[in-house]
Chains A and B, each alone.
Chain A
Amino acid sequence: MNEMSPPTAERAAALKGLGSERKRVEDARFTQGKGNYVDDLKLPGMLFGDFVRSPYAHARIKSIDAEAAKALPGVVAVLTAEDLAPLGLHWMPTLAGDKQMVLADGKVLFQGQEVAFVVAEDRYIAADAVELIEVDYEELPVVTDPFKAQADDAPVLREDLDGNMEGAHGPRRHHNHIFTWEQGDKEATDTVIGSADVVAEEMIYYHRTHPCPLETCGCVASMDKVNGKLTVHGTFQAPHAVRTVASLISGIAEHNIRIISPDIGGGFGNKVGVYPGYICSIVASIVTGVPVKWVEDRMDNLMATAFARDYWMQGKIAATKDGKITGLWCHVTADHGAFDACADPTKFPAGFFNICTGSYDIPTAYLAVDGVYTNKAPGGVAYRCSFRVTEAAYFIERMIEVLAIKLGMDAAELRAKNFIKADQFPYRSALGWEYDSGNYQPAWDKALKAVGYDDLRKEQAERVEAFKRGETRKLLGIGLTFFTEIVGAGPVKNCDILGLGMFDSCEIRIHPTGSAIARLGTISQGQGHATTFAQILASETGIPADDITIEEGDTDTAPYGLGTYGSRSTPVAGAATAMAGRKIRAKAQMIAAYLLEVHDDDVEWDVDRFVVKGAPERFKTMKEIAFASYNQAIPGVEPGLEAVSYYDPPNMTYPFGAYICVMEIDADTGEWSIRQFYALDDCGTRINPMIIEGQVHGGVTEALAIAMGQEIAYDEIGNVKTGTLMDFFIPTAWETPHYTTDHTVTPSPHHPIGAKGVGESPNVGGVPAFSNAVHDAFRPFGLVQAHMPHDHWRIWKIAHDLGLHG
């Protein structure tokens, strides 16, 4: 009945499904300069918006004179808070339950804050007009230090909260205090620490930095007054959430708002939040009736849109004499800047920082986080990490090193001694998470063996001796990290953003001729969704990946989803994709059985077809089934072959990995070079090894930048000292080392295909690996803790303070 068909393995390979190193379909347009980014968009009659920004970190606005700007030919409008107030749009809600000024309302609270919005015929005229607007400021005392911000006599930053001591996350205890978030058992932890053999205590600072994607944030808002529809093209990592928020803020019905995320030039968390530029563009388009584009310049981006980190983490770790950890205590002072605009699930004001027990079986733990206002930009986004997970990993991986010093133990051995054992999974941590799966020891052994750990330690010891003899000025650091991530937010029962449950979605339509389109609630910013989601579907439905179009980012066509950040696309949307594929297959099974004239239970799936059990020569391919679904009347089965899945994950996923960095450090100049970097990742089932490797390369490079120099630095009066790429460190190909990647595979037991997500692991694991390498180089000379970023002068200062300069 059917012609001879190729063997199973050959047919499976032709699908380019799970595990295939499929080349990316996105690349055709990107390599030819045919990407479609927001700033490429040009609509008829489009105007351009630009901001007047505050030069001061804290000042009262006495007056704004826009007359000269308005008189400039080509200027269409100038908006201030006064213009937005009647619409109720001069403030907007933040993702963290706070509110934020859209345009300065009476005062400014950070340098670069949006004060007025100029709308002009082109960006040149807009820039000229910005120069012509005169703002009269009265400077106020500035506080950029979160500890000083909590002093009794610290300046009151948020006058709008005057007397309101109940915040979004419970009581506030000071006028610059935002929230206290407590997890774990305080009393038990105090007891353990009070009676432990050994306690190591340290302040670990993870400095303020910024995701700084190469494309800045921007949008084109277009209000069509004829049909009442608002369309906004923008750099949105979560287009559906933006639509809902835009509807709630503006009062425009949700079906009359269309949010489109076109190609996005990198996000890394920067493009999760809602910024004043979006609101002002929308208002300006409503006012003028024509499209309005706003695109940040790089300084705007670094000064005003979402920063990351800025966590002061005080830690105590207790252990027995022989190195079994018995307790962990942590208090975080979190500098949130002028408004709490953290992008965290609503119930988690410090994100998933309570993963800070890491990969270790720590029986007792306590965590408290205090959020504080300062005169710095708002944000607190997850820069290529799940919410505050990189801070947590850095904290525990530093505390382990600090404890190893105190115990006089090798830090690799200390880690191994305390790993959660394979038979303990699913593992419930002392701070409340249930780790889905893990197998740490084999991964650790593999990593140590790959780098020749014992030999490296010998070489290091010899180097120290040579240094002491004056034969070299270069030190060798071996930076160890074993990290566990928590990604895939997340279960609706505990994860929502502004009340929107953090499920995700996929909708599939199989066309009559057996090709398909799938639409998702996520949006790629370089992760290659169009390639990998098609691979998942290929394996689930037997349709070749090359015959499946993946579409994301248009709220008019895609099913509702919460977007792409926190490594949630594969764990959540990837699961939805697999589940939708399975729904297709379930229907296809009924059709196949009907066509083959057997009972549903008498056919079984074989790569790309249903075959009659025991009679493999009798089958129907998915392609045949698809056609039949459109042209045959099948009793009890609706025509067509479509499915949609909204996937609410039962748990997070917990990827892990072992990273080792070997670093040479010049004690005289603070210069460093990476001799070797080994990254072993276990992200569960591997969808596309080529893309996984690319994600690791990129993430480790961002980690390198963060650990070794990248920061948003302020001076005492709140000026941003790192506002351009001259000073904001992004390494080039020259400073970036060659990486070796490796893997183990421990599938997630609850994810339909066992995948865990990988995009952010390299940032989470990379930062402590680099930082620990710096620390490790100086450990033989007595260094315990030195704050990042480890740029030349700070490394030099370590050496200097240790007396290594004679």
Chain B
Amino acid sequence: MDKMHFKVTVNGKQEELLVEPRELLIHVLREKLGVTGPHIGCETSHCGACTVDMDGKSVKSCTVFAAQANGADVTTIEGLGTPDGLHVLQQMFKEHHGLQCGFCTPGMITRAYRLLQENPDPSEEDVRFGMSGNLCRCTGYQNIVKAVLASAAELNAVKEAAQ
């Protein structure tokens, strides 16, 4: 089967490579581009460990063919903050013990990032519903919800201070 030219922007960096159309975005990211933050958990789009932000949407990259993502702009956990400048969500997950084994965390935070873009002032119910595409086996979600709510408060406080 012929390979196709595949162009994608990942965390602000343009990438160009040859892929088989069937290759899944998660495999391209992890194995060809060395972006191993997003993980593979269930492979049937139920767990959300592979969540990335693609063209302004949270998507499960295990259920996207590379071919479909051709031309897309993708942000992963690696693109959200830097070691010296963590994203508020990264800080708050740490602060509120929102993770244990860490396997679901990149998908969780990447999903929460988009959720807060769309709903900057969510209720606990909004967060629980908005994060329901991501499974965690360790935390029981309580501290994840706490971390997302704390992030929203922090982001809003920063916004307010700027105004």
Contact = CB atoms under 8 A, between A and B. Distances in A.
Interface stretch (A189-197, A263-271, A282-290, A793-801): A263-271
B3 to A, nearest CB: 12
Interface in B130-150: 131-145
Interface of B: 20, 22-23, 27, 30-31, 34-44, 46-47, 49, 76-78, 81, 83, 86, 90-91, 93-95, 97, 99-106, 109, 127-129, 131-145
B115 to A, nearest CB: 11
B135 A734 contact: no
A360 B76 CA distance: 52
A24 B97 contact: yes
B97 A690 contact: yes
Contacts of B145: 733
A32 B77 contact: yes
B50 to A, nearest CB: 11
A27 B22 contact: no
Contacts of B94: 23-24, 27-28, 31
A31 B46 contact: no
Contact of B137 (A39, A213, A694, A739): A213
Contacts of B143: 694, 697
A42 interface: yes
Given A33-B106, A124-B22, A694-B97, A725 B140 contact: no
B141 A733 contact: yes
Interface in A9-56: 23-24, 26-35, 37, 39-40, 42
Nearest to A384: B137
B41 to A, nearest CB: 5
A309 B58 CA distance: 37
Nearest to A25: B94
Given A32-B77, A32-B90, A33-B76, A726 B46 contact: yes
Contacts of A697: 139-143
A525 B103 CA distance: 10
Nearest to B127: A733
Contact of B100 (A124, A527, A724): A527
A171 interface: no
Residue in A26, A39, A42, A214 with the greatest tally of chain B CB atoms within 10 Å? A214
A732 interface: yes
Interface in A326-342: none
A617 to B, nearest CB: 39
B143 to A, nearest CB: 6
B101 A526 contact: yes
Given A42-B31, A730-B135, A736-B140, A298 B42 contact: yes
Nearest to B27: A123
A466 B136 CA distance: 38
Interface stretch (A98-106, A198-206, A401-409, A698-706): A698-706
Nearest to B100: A526
Contact of B102 (A263, A699, A702): A263
Contact of A31 (B31, B38, B109): B109
A32 B81 contact: yes
Given A39-B36, A725-B42, 8 more contacts: A23-B95, A31-B91, A33-B78, A215-B103, A263-B101, A265-B103, A697-B142, A739-B142
Contacts of A264: 101
Interface residues of A, number: 56
A212 B136 CA distance: 11
A124 B24 CA distance: 10
A739 B143 CA distance: 10
Nearest to A524: B101
Contacts of A32: 37, 77-78, 81, 83, 86, 90
Contact of B138 (A28, A693, A698): A698
A214 B101 contact: yes
24 contacts: A27-B99, A28-B94, A30-B99, A33-B35, A33-B76, A37-B39, A39-B30, A124-B20, A124-B22, A212-B137, A214-B41, A214-B47, A214-B103, A214-B104, A266-B138, A690-B97, A694-B97, A698-B139, A726-B46, A732-B131, A733-B134, A733-B141, A734-B132, A738-B142
Given A32-B83, A35-B102, A698 B77 contact: no
A556 interface: no
Contact of B39 (A29, A215, A525, A726): A215
B97 A691 contact: yes
B37 A724 contact: no
Contacts of B39: 37, 39, 214-215, 265
A263 B78 CA distance: 18
A265 B49 CA distance: 11
A788 to B, nearest CB: 19
Contact of B86 (A31, A730, A736): A31
B105 A526 contact: no
Given A23-B95, A24-B97, A40 B138 contact: no
A733 B98 CA distance: 13
B35 to A, nearest CB: 8
Contacts of A27: 93-94, 99, 102
Contacts of A693: 97
Given A32-B83, A725-B135, A39 B40 contact: yes
Given A214-B137, A525-B101, A698-B100, A724 B44 contact: yes
A702 B95 CA distance: 23
B94 to A, nearest CB: 4
Contact of B30 (A40, A263, A268, A700): A40
Nearest to A696: B140
